[in-house]
Amino acid sequence: MVEVDGGGNARMTATVESPDSVTVILEGELDIASVELIRRGIEPYLADSPQHVVFDLARLQFMDSSGIALLIEVSNRVGSVQIRNATPIVRRVLEVTGLADALGVTD
């Protein structure tokens, strides 16, 4: 388990669940100021080409399209992504951009 403080207002914690699966917990506010360090924090976990990445967003208080961009970048590089526990405002940005299905949003 590795924690990365994303500068801005975001933090991440990544856990390798199995050789094929990584869980990433995002906290705080994901925007243009915080997304780059989170991107760098996730990068090592993508180098091993996991099949499945789960984002737990229960403690992510805010995300705009800068965060959406990161989620799509990850989605493009792994077999599948799943988004769990999105807060109402985060879920709304996923829905209005039409990405809730593509990014595997579940309760």
Could you say whether residue 80 binds another protein (CB under 8 A)? no
Using CB under 8 A, which of 1, 47, 98, 107 touches another protein?
Answer: 98
Angle (CA) 87-28-13 rounded to 5° is: 100
Q: Site map for another protein, 10-49, x if CB under 8 A?
A: -------------------x-xxx----------------
Nearer to another protein, 1 or 101 (CB): 101
**Binding of residue 107 to another protein (CB under 8 A):** no
- Binding part of the chain for another protein, among 12-20, 43-51, 60-68, 78-86 by CB under 8 A, reads 60-68
Cβ neighbors of 91 (< 8 A, separation 6 or more) are: 100, 105
Rounded distance between C-alpha atoms, residue 11 and residue 16, angstroms: 17
Spatial distance between the Cα atoms of 29 and 15, rounded to a whole number of angstroms: 20
